[in-house]
Structure 1
Amino acid sequence: MSTEPAAGVAMEQVLKGLRVLDLTQNVAGPYCTQILGDMGAEIIKVERPGSGDDTRAWMPPAWGEQSPVYLAFNRNKKSICIDLDAPEGQEAVARLARSADIVVHSMKPGSAESRGLGFESLRQDNRKLVYCAISAFGQSGPMSGLPGYDPLMQAFTGVMSVTGNDGEAPVRVSVSLIDMGSGMWAAMGILAALRELERTGEGSCVNTSLLETGIAWMSVFIANFRASGTLPRKLGSAMTMLAPYELFAAADGWVFIAAGNDRLFTQVCKALGIDHAASDPKFAKNADRVKHRVELHRIIEDAMVQMPAAEAVRRLRACGAPCSILNDVGQMLTDEQVVSAGIVQPLQVSEGDDHRVVGIPFTLNGRRKTEHVAPPTLGAHTHALLAEAGYDDAAIRRMIEHRFVG
């Protein structure tokens, strides 16, 4: 099979020509708009004068004098500073929205509307506007006005209740899976709305929330609870309905073994020299192995601790058994497979540096966007964007002097 990229549009051309007015901060919203920017849209990031996005201050650690978190979610954007609490600032945003194709915000429900920046207000001057609101608990319900962050929502939606080891205190998933997941859903909703715009000529309002993302990630646990009536318990690295499907200690590390069916379990036993387990009636079928999970774990681990993790992986893969060494971040980044994927890419933040960021996690026609513009300094594009929106130099100077913009 040819490894040459297929003919067709490049990633950065997909949304070229579309302008996104980004009124978000922290992680979920900026990740959404960064996805759109990676696909070629022009992203205008609206930030508070003086401080900007909260993540600009999320340090240590730092890359130079900048927050790595801010750098991770704000490439390929322009920055304009506008005070959304000032009528003059609200008017400036409304004026920018007239030439925007997409508006994304992460304000609490009602906040945008109280500033004259809700969907119905903005679409009066722009009937084709695609509008996306990302909130914590959603647009309705008794908790809709409350703030929310990723770990808070992990607690509320039950993600924390199934994370960690049985008998120990709950722990959060360290990855910001609810924030980043919400950004992904928002981006998908926006793409769906753009398709609807092509069909009808009318813009749409997309709503998503951290709550809905958390519930979505709990789909399997909800289904199992409905089927059994039994609350799920924490199983560490294991999975409720499969065994062996978890981490095992080796002589010098850890190895995850994923035997998703009876055939693969037989291959695991063959690789580790424990054929007696494969022929034991207690482990004949997956349901049997789940029932006798603790005993099976001991048998497999007794064999695993006799060999280095790399040797265990070599044997398992030679027999076709899915497995992986437990890598830390440094090991993962230098792994040959990760390097060959080309998803960890350079981002020149300042002259001569070698910062790296994670690119968009898919290719289009065999291509992935590889050249990125570093996240902007605070307010770097304020004057130019206001001038483009029709403000003259005197008006811009007056707004800056009164700190309506910055």
Structure 2
Amino acid sequence: MMARSRFAIALLIAVVVGAATSCTASDDQQSEATSSSAPAASAGPAVLTPVVADVVAPPIPVTGSDGRVHLAYELRLTNTGSQPATITSLQVKGDGRTLVDLSGDALTPWFQALGGGPKAGTVLAPGQQGLVWIDATLNSPDDVPGSLGHVVNVDFPQATSLVPSQLAENVAATEVDTRDAVRIRAPLDGPRWLDGTGCCTVTSHRAAVLPINGRMLAAERFAIDFVQLDEQGRIYVGDQTQLSSYEYYGAPVRAVSDGKVIAVVGDLSEQVPGATPQGLPLDQYGGNHVVQDIGNGRYAFYAHLQPGSVDDISVGQDLRAGDQIGLLGNSGNTDAPHLHFHLMDGPDFLAANGIPFEFENFDLGGRVTGESLEAAATAGAPVVDEAGTQTGSRSDEMPLYLDVVTFPGS
């Protein structure tokens, strides 16, 4: 089973899970990305496929700190039939290879039915949608296929004259996005920064696929919440509810690239650590934050900054990579001081799709266990290293969930 941390410091918890959702697949950008550019379906006789599918956004390859290339994206399933549909397995195909094969219990952590009502395993009720989070990994960029196909194996309670009780559906052919992951410098300096909710398992960030402005979007697909461990591997020491218990509170946050500031909020109060805020309006989830246009339709988002720490930053200001833009804080939807950072393909931190990034250089000091992260976040316990992590210098890679990294700088 995949670790699902309760370390609730994400910008947005997956509010779409368990909420009624009504989404269309007809928005212009999504149609262009997943239909006009998608490879044609293989020739053959017409077959009824009650479960139809599309991808939220075509995947962009990114190299992770494990040295592997990740294709992280979401497959949306819709049961158009009148019977419940049990998704028994899913295969992702590329260039004649099976890249992902999820069956039975192995599929369950990657699957979520949407909408209200009871949920049972990997079952979609009639008319219900669901999401499957995909992380297809490859050995090198040379192995990345040009396109992907999906085989969804479905069981129905009863066979009909048109649909058997078991059906293997070929759905949602899509091309792989040929853009490179964005290469940037780190937004923080110094040692022992822990990736608390990053790619590519189903953390609260990846789970936050949200219905925004009539579209289903995953702005936080590659988002990272950074907290800093002390020399004993602790997130805080003392009273969990006091900001002063977090040694890294107030750390400088730096621009990851050259680019113009397009949004600034700096006057929201800090939250009390140890509790999830209640009743926040959607536009305050990011707390005090900066959005920076870093060029070519890409935007950087720095969230949960200290009140007043961005007073010298203004809309229209040109930043250089490494410039200080604010101080790490605890404003917005957060229950512990941290920096929430992600890149996106639009200027709105929610109404966009997240895009991958690779840091120019960092040192991977280790990877912690999910269980120890939860204990560190809730009880102030030291984290425990996961055995077997290949540590050392990294360049042009993305830290992964539970990594502990050191960035250049003081």
The answer to whether TM tops 0.5 is no
Question: Which interval holds the TM-score relative to the shorter structure?
Answer: under 0.3
TM-score with structure 2 setting the length? 0.25
Which of structures 1 and 2 has the bigger CA Rg?
Answer: 1
Richer in helix (by share): 1
TM-score with structure 1 setting the length? 0.25
